[in-house]
Structure 1
Amino acid sequence: MATLIGFSLAGCASADGRYPSLAVRDAERVQGSFEPAPTDQNAATGTINPETLDAPFKRASDAHARFTAMQPEVRALVSASRGLSRENDRRARALVGFATLTSLRSQTALALSDLDLLEVNAATGFERTREIRDFQNAVLRMITQQDAALDSLNEAMKQ
């Protein structure tokens, strides 16, 4: 083993027994310079385009309005299906109604995720995010109402 180590170390040495220099060679030196890309001075205006905020909020409001309009019908279906077997047609309609409400809740949450992305982009661009947070809070209130309704319906379906 010692012989192998000796041969390996000897392979690093030059013919006269000296090891190569660890100094930076001319080919390893960095040459040239880097120029930063020009920045757009008008990029950070400090305000958010109102149309950009209105689109996701309108989608959330539309989904919430459909959720609210459909909720009494689904509640009636759930009440009518109470105590029935899973194979019963009324129970199946109640489950489909519940799934539709869940889908509408998901659409509201997707609009919230779009607002979250707008907030991140605004914050990293040093723009004000207060307007976005106001919209986010309004959508969060919608989602909270929808969650409470879905939880209530879910409990009613278990009975």
Structure 2
Amino acid sequence: MLHRLLLAAFVTLVGGCAAPDGDYPSLLPRPIEQTSFAEPDRPVPEAAADPALEVKLAEQAEALASAGAAFDRAAAEAERLGRTARGAATGSEPWIAAQVALSGLDALRGATSEALTDIERIAIDRAAQGLSAYPELQRLLERAQAQNRAQIDRIDAIEAGVQPAG
């Protein structure tokens, strides 16, 4: 009896594995399922040499360097005055001298900010025209941003040191 039951179960299981008659679709992936929708790799076009742009960048680099040098000279003096005014009363001579030096620093930082704005304008105009990135322009822009940030930080540090007493 057990043999008949095992034989019946075996025949039933083997019969389920038999291929049915008819045309059924394959379970393999379809061609559309093999298509990649990932963004294709596109080579970054190299910018062609642009003599007119090189002249503009040289002018802006000179303006940036000049603004940085003037700021550094004035910042050294402002730091000295700030150390003298540390703890002085509001309105005292050392405090006023430090405040005047700080306002002069802010005006000098304006030259760096102006150069940064001009460099950003050049970059924006190139992008609006659909021109490829220009490495020298990018380096100058990064240098201008770093110089601007460093000047702001230096002014803030001097200002923090010139807090009135009590």
TM-score, normalization by structure 2: 0.63
2:152 match: 147
Indicate if the aligned counterparts of 1:46 and 1:127 stay in contact, CA closer than 8 A: no
2:144 aligned partner, one-letter code: V
SS at match of 2:120: helix
Which structure has the larger Rg? 2
- Unaligned stretches of 5+ in structure 1? 1-44
- Unaligned stretches of 5+ in structure 2? 1-46
SS at match of 2:87: coil
Number of residues of Structure 1 aligned to a counterpart in Structure 2: 115
1:95, distance to aligned residue in structure 2 (A)? 0.7
1:56 match: 60
Matches of 1:73 and 1:119, distance apart in 2: 35
Indicate if the aligned counterparts of 1:47 and 1:127 stay in contact, CA closer than 8 A: no
SS at match of 1:158: coil
Superposition pairs of residues 2-151 of structure 1, within 5 angstroms: 46-48=48-50, 49-128=53-132, 129-151=134-156
Matches of 1:87 and 1:151, distance apart in 2: 20
Deviations 1:49-105 (A, max 9, x none): 211112222112111111112222111111111222232222111111111111111
Matches of 2:101 and 2:149, distance apart in 1: 19
Percent identical: 18
1:131, distance to aligned residue in structure 2 (A)? 2.1
SS at match of 2:66: helix
1:144, distance to aligned residue in structure 2 (A)? 2.1
2:62 aligned partner, one-letter code: K
TM-score, normalization by structure 1: 0.65
Deviations 1:10-52 (A, max 9, x none): xxxxxxxxxxxxxxxxxxxxxxxxxxxxxxxxxxx94442111
